[in-house]
């Protein structure tokens, strides 16, 4: 069964959508707030406020209206709002618009648009989806 889960602006509801089977797409609306830890097999989009921790197997979007005080991990992370906390993006981190990030980042790729700010240390390395460095494969030794 394909399910898309949304919370915010009208409450939580499940419905059939275009997402992959067993994968959730979570939306925290502009009047929503989360205090605690949210771990999602899928994508997260934040328009409201978060204090705690965000982790997604998919993409994480922080919209311009969002205020996040939490570590964030995801495949691709885009920040257009205000984030205070460390970020791990297995593939790509995008800071866009007037987005601001105060924290250390560990990314595969980094893009910062004019007008966005980053205050913290940057570590660029190939990462697995779980946020750990990808192990370089070495050829098997022949005996």
- Tens digit of pLDDT for each residue in 41-84? 999 999 999 999 999 999 999 999 999 999 999 999 999 999 99
Query: Under a CB-based contact definition with an 8 Å cutoff, are residues 45 and 64 in contact?
Result: no
Whether 63 is covered by a domain: the verdict is yes
pLDDT at 96 over 60: yes
DSSP-assigned letter for residue 96 = -
**Number of domains forming the structure of the chain:** 1
Which tokens in the block code for residue 110?
């980094």
Whether 142 is covered by a domain: the verdict is no
Whether 1 is covered by a domain: the verdict is no
pLDDT at 89 over 70: yes
Whether 16 is covered by a domain: the verdict is no
Question: Could you tell me the pLDDT band of residue 11, with boundaries at 50, 70 and 90?
Answer: very low
Whether 2 is covered by a domain: the verdict is no
Nearest to 91 by CA among 111, 76, 106: 76
Whether 132 is covered by a domain: the verdict is no
Residue-range definition of the domain harbouring residue 84: 26-124
CA distance linking residue 106 with residue 85, whole number of Å: 12
Whether 15 is covered by a domain: the verdict is no
Whether 100 is covered by a domain: the verdict is yes
């Amino acid at each position: 069964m394909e399910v898309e889960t949304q919370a915010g602006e009208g409450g939580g509801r499940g419905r059939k959508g275009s997402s992959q089977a067993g994968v959730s797409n979570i939306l925290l609306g502009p009047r929503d707030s989360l205090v605690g830890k949210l771990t999602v097999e899928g994508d997260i989009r934040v328009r409201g406020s978060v204090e705690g921790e965000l982790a997604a197997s998919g993409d994480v979007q922080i919209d311009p209206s969002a205020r996040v005080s939490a570590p964030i991990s995801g495949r691709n992370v885009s920040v257009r709002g205000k984030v205070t906390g460390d970020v791990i993006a297995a593939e790509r981190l995008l800071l866009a618009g007037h987005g601001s990030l105060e924290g250390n980042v560990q990314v595969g790729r980094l893009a910062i648009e004019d007008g966005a700010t980053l205050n913290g240390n940057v570590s660029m390395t190939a990462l697995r989806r779980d946020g750990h460095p990808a192990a370089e494969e070495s050829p098997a030794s022949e005996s």
